[in-house]
Chains A and B, each alone.
Chain A
Amino acid sequence: DADVTQTPRNRITKTGKRIMLECSQTKGHDRMYWYRQDPGLGLRLIYYSFDVKDINKGEISDGYSVSRQAQAKFSLSLESAIPNQTALYFCATSEGSDTQYFGPGTRLTVL
């Protein structure tokens, strides 16, 4: 079984809809991250969490919110999706500032 899982893997939604992307990990890591990836821009950090009580904004947090429900779960919400949020979204975990382990990604399309 994969150590970091993301659901859904693909999602098509309409402008204005609320959508939640979920991430679970079995690695026992405290740190979890949400990134988006766009062609030519690389990975950009949306939010990160160093433990259940710690949530921090990343480089591009506007239009997104997160919830760290447990050490193993970190969800990303788009309260009102817009087309420029169409991207590939990755969740990642790490132990300290060490290697990051990524989930398989969620391909989101906002029409």
Chain B
Amino acid sequence: RKEVEQDPGPFNVPEGATVAFNCTYSNSASQSFFWYRQDCRKEPKLLMSVYSSGNEDGRFTAQLNRASQYISLLIRDSKLSDSATYLCVVNFPGYSSASKIIFGSGTRLSIRP
């Protein structure tokens, strides 16, 4: 089983739709969780951190479910500009003084007019 697993998609939805995707992680002791966005041929950029209580930033909502070991990202009222690959990132408990940061392979989202 992969340490961090995402549905690769692509998710192809119409503009204005609500779309959600999940990311599962294998280590129950994981501490921190993030969603990054990556546009084609560009570098990943932080979209939002995922807190235990869940968090919302405009049209984006991130949730953490520790019991089932997954995080989710919900995008409401999707825009054409939301088309990108969304990377799930999990911080695993460390070896030595380091945490181990694992990236999922990404979920591709395509918004159509």
Q: Does B14 contact A (CB under 8 A)?
A: no
List A contacts of B106 (CB < 8 A): 42
Out of A42, A97, A104, name the residue touching B91 (CB < 8 Å).
A97
Q: Does B44 contact A (CB under 8 A)?
A: yes
Q: Does A15 contact B (CB under 8 A)?
A: no
Contact status A42-B43, CB under 8 Å: no
Q: Complex: how many Å from CA A40 to CA B103?
A: 12
Q: Does B98 contact A (CB under 8 A)?
A: yes
Q: In A64-107, which residues have CB < 8 Å from any B CB?
A: 88, 90, 97-105, 107
Q: In B60-110, which residues have CB < 8 Å from any A CB?
A: 87, 89, 91, 94, 96-99, 101, 103-106
Contact status A40-B105, CB under 8 Å: yes
Q: Complex: how many Å from CA A43 to CA B106?
A: 9
List B contacts of A43 (CB < 8 A): 44, 87, 103
Contact status A105-B91, CB under 8 Å: no
List A contacts of B59 (CB < 8 A): none
Contact status B105-A105, CB under 8 Å: no
Contact status A41-B42, CB under 8 Å: no
Chain B interface SS verdict (over half):
strand
Chain B's closest residue to A48 (CB) is B98
Contact status B44-A102, CB under 8 Å: yes
Out of B32, B45, B104, name the residue touching A97 (CB < 8 Å).
B32
Contact status B43-A105, CB under 8 Å: yes
Contact status B105-A50, CB under 8 Å: no
Contact status A42-B98, CB under 8 Å: no
B35 nearest CB across to chain A (Å): 11
Contact status B43-A50, CB under 8 Å: no
Chain A residues within CB distance 8 Å of chain B = 33, 35, 40-45, 48, 50, 56, 88, 90, 97-105, 107
List the 9 closest A-B pairs by CB distance, nearest first: A42-B105, A102-B43, A97-B99, A43-B103, A99-B46, A42-B103, A102-B44, A104-B43, A105-B43
